Amino acid sequence: MAKETRLTFRIDLANGARLGPGKAELLALIVEHGSIRAAGAAIGMSYRRAWLLADEINRMFTEPSIFTRHGGKSGGGAGLTPFGERLLACCRRMDSESRKALAAELDWLDQAMNREFETGKPEKPERE
């Protein structure tokens, strides 16, 4: 199956933090699964790594994006704060808009791409 040419969206914030597809995916999976552990597991990430990323996301802005509920009778879990919901929507919108804005250029790159390079085959046989 051939790979698709894709655009990877990432923002380097002025405070040194980075917001990209991994953090956006973690936010989306926290919504879907209701926990940091399950969200991390869904993308093959350890709980510790997922928790550290969630903590980093919470420290990037003046408002937290993720809330947690401690376990107990009703069980623990996590979700997005209203700010986190806005952040995820913003990430999705910026990603979508950048893809739309650059669609013609991505199509051009697709047409110009050397397909043999993709499969690892040499472009021309080497001469001795």
* CA separation for the pair 72, 114 (Å, rounded): 57
Q: Which domain holds residue 66?
A: 13-94
42 inside domain: yes
Split into its structural domains, the chain has a count of: 1
For residue range 81-112, what is the model confidence (pLDDT) as tens digits?
999 999 999 999 999 999 999 999 999 998 89
114 inside domain: no
Which residue type does 8 have? Answer: T
Q: Is 19 helix (H, G, I), strand (E, B) or coil?
A: strand
Is a pLDDT exceeding 60 seen at residue 119?
no
- Where residue 24 sits, what CATH number does that domain have? 1.10.10.10
- Give residue 122's pLDDT: 56
pTM: predicted TM-score of the whole model, two decimal places: 0.81
